[in-house]
Amino acid sequence: MDATMTSWREDIVAGFRQLQDTLCEGLVRLEQSCNGSGFVEDAWERPGGGGGRTRVLSEGAVWERGGVNFSDVHGEVSRGLAEQLGTTASSFMASGVSLVLHPQNPWVPIVHMNVRHFALSDGTQWFGGGIDLTPHYVVPTQAGAFHRVLREVCDAHVVADYNRFKREADDYFFLPHRDETRGVGGVFFDHLGREGHGDWDACWAFVLALGNSFLPAYVPLVEAAKDQPFTNEQRDWQLHRRGRYAEFNLVWDRGTRFGLVSQGRTESILMSLPPEVRWTYDHQPGPLERDTLSWLRKDVDWVNH
């Protein structure tokens, strides 16, 4: 790794580690306000270089399963990783924070966030990440509020483009075999800072700001819906929608594939999967559920809805 890349490493790793702490503190406050529990931390080391902190919340008052992971790994580029990245570099460094929360109440959306930095021994490095919302039941006002927070953080940073990042999220968080988006999207970007996308300081500032926008974007939605009554039928629909989430993560998600081909820690990689799911042959949704399905499409203008 060149000197410039190495000099960035400590600041990036420290920033991501602090972000994990901030996110967990905010989520624990909400859990404890409902007499729930906190996260269990599992510190781990990666064979070949680096490690991380996996923090998992199970059977909580608000979330049935949740995880907030910090990782900082490095090592040789395996054949599988080289093929995935299209590189001839011999070694890599990767650090970041990833988060997935599966709520107890079907009216509270699933949420995902990831912010990361990646560097190769050939001198290339970049940022990537995103935040997206996966409601079991789409509530347009809820989706609009979520997207407006993301637009505001993008508008505050010259290197960010909400409209472009929103389109990339629609394209990325899509299940081609179902012809539906995973949820109501959010923002997604990759290779930021790699090829003239603004200066490095500005890219790093945006990535941290996006990570810190998670709690303001998501927590109000949770507070508004966590105590809403739900039926057995709505719980059943929640389990079916979790099945779609599992399909995406196992078949299409790049982060899952990267973790596996880079010999990452399997328990941490698959932490994003929900604890219970359901697949029913030829499942026939009811009217309220069909309404949600009608919203699972690209190019919805949620900000102005």
Burial label, 196 (beta-carbon count in 10 A; 0-12, 13-18, 19+) = exposed
Produce one character per residue of 230-249: b if its CB has 16 or more CB atoms within 10 Å, e if not.
Answer: beeebeebbbbbbbbbbbbb
Q: How far apart are CA 252 and CA 175, in angstroms?
A: 8
- Sequence-distant (6+) residues with CB within 8 A of 112 are 98, 99, 100, 131, 132, 134, 272
User: Which amino acid, one-letter code, is at 85?
Assistant: L
Catalytic annotation present for 197: no
Give which of 146, 165, 259 is closest to 206, Cα–Cα: 165
Question: Which member of 74, 112, 136, 197 is catalytic?
Answer: 112
Produce one character per residue of 7-34: b if its CB has 16 or more CB atoms within 10 Å, e if not.
Answer: ebbeebbebbeebbeebbebbbebbeee
Rg (CA), the chain: 19
Q: Which residue's entry shows tokens 């995935």?
A: 84
- Sequence-distant (6+) residues with CB within 8 A of 59 are 37, 65
Catalytic residues: 112
